[in-house]
Amino acid sequence: MQSHTKFLTLFNNKGGVGKTSLVYHLAWMFRQRGISVLAADLDPQCNLTSAFLTDEQTDALPDGSTIYEAISPLLNGVGDVVVPPPIKIRRGLNLVPGDLSLSLAEDEFSLSWARAGNGGERDFRVLSCLYRVLRKCAENSGSDLVLIDVGPNLGALNRVAIIASDYVITPLAPDRYSLQGLANLGPTLRKWRKAWRKYMEENPLPTLELPKGGMDPIGYIVMQHSERAGRPTKSYHKWIDRIPEVFHKEVLEGAAVGLTIDDDEYCIAQIKHYRSLMPMAMEARKPIFSLTAADGAFGSHAEAVENCRKAFSRLVALLEERLGLSNGED
């Protein structure tokens, strides 16, 4: 494990953009490139957990395995967090499973946030609980990167999850509502970051390790666009062309007049819609880029699988550079 495990959250308050699928595929590609990954399902819908584990595997999880079970002693006033054993998916890829009960923590997180300015010890334990659990799980599993999946909202649960993050990437669909989501996201991240840094000055427990609340917005990924002749179709262009301006204005508080996604360094990738390959991958319980002829990926499907592999390999190579990760390759 590196001296400082990086925490990266994929987040947009507009749902349905393919965020969980993106986290799942990134986790596998990082692992294939030699980066040890801890995938953390902090979305009470538990879709990331369902992508990694069958129902039978989920039912067979030992008691105390989920993220909610890890923090419930603290929330219930009977102790501090406990550290669950990360679930090994493959060597170099581990999972902290989600839990529908995590939504029950919303009220406690909201109250602790409101009281944190008063320097209450328990409030700081509550607000740092997700970070402390994931940091210890990453240490125990030797993970270089924690990939966090959260739900599509700006609630108290996501605030506690995201202040644990060093970096934030925004997945976007090329549509009106993703752009509106950006307009909400940027000011909200700045407000959370400012408030948390002020709260940290009131921490009554110097030995309590708190998240730094960096939440650095390092870019966006355009998801699920359709292509014709290698370019997104015309119907999407009116939205795609607006993304750089909105991202720079609302998230970075800058200007990007005339900038296109092809020229924008904050456009990390454009991931096309692989359509029929997704159900095939779900049936095979593997990422699209790992499908083989035995899974039904032959002919044009095999070509699409290879294109997907190349796209995610380029994406992860870029993220390794931006996150300061090393996969040990020459």
Q: Can you give the CATH number for the domain in which 271 is found?
A: 3.40.50.300
Residue 114 lies in a domain: yes
Residue 162 lies in a domain: yes
Upper half-sphere CA count for residue 258 (Cβ side, 13 Å):
0
The total of structural domains in the chain comes to 1
Alpha carbon distance 121, 112 (integer Å)? 10
Residue 135 lies in a domain: yes
Closest-CA residue to 290 (of 282, 281, 278): 281
329: tokens are 């390759």
3-state secondary structure of 93: strand
pLDDT tens-digit profile of 195-248? 999 999 999 998 999 999 999 999 999 986 555 445 555 667 788 888 999 999
Residue 132 lies in a domain: yes
Q: Which domain holds residue 59?
A: 6-276
Q: Is the dihedral of CA 146, 149, 154, 156 positive or negative?
A: negative
238: tokens are 């009116």
pLDDT tens-digit profile of 8-17? 999 988 888 8
Residue 285 lies in a domain: no
Kindly compute the dihedral angle of the four CA atoms of residues 23, 161, 137, 217, in this order, to the nearest 10 degrees. 60
Residue 167 lies in a domain: yes
Helices (H), the chain: 19-32, 47-52, 55-59, 67-75, 106-115, 121-127, 129-141, 156-162, 176-200, 234-240, 243-246, 277-284, 300-323
pLDDT in tens, the chain (330 residues): 344 899 999 998 888 888 999 999 999 999 999 999 999 999 999 999 999 999 999 999 999 999 999 999 999 999 999 999 999 999 999 999 999 999 999 999 999 999 998 999 999 999 999 999 999 999 999 999 999 999 999 999 999 999 999 999 999 988 888 899 989 999 999 999 999 999 999 999 989 999 999 999 999 999 865 554 455 556 677 888 889 999 999 999 988 778 888 899 999 999 887 777 888 998 999 999 999 999 988 888 899 999 999 999 999 999 999 999 977 553
Residue 182 lies in a domain: yes
- What pLDDT was estimated at residue 330? 39
% of the chain at pLDDT higher than 70: 95
3-state secondary structure of 269: strand
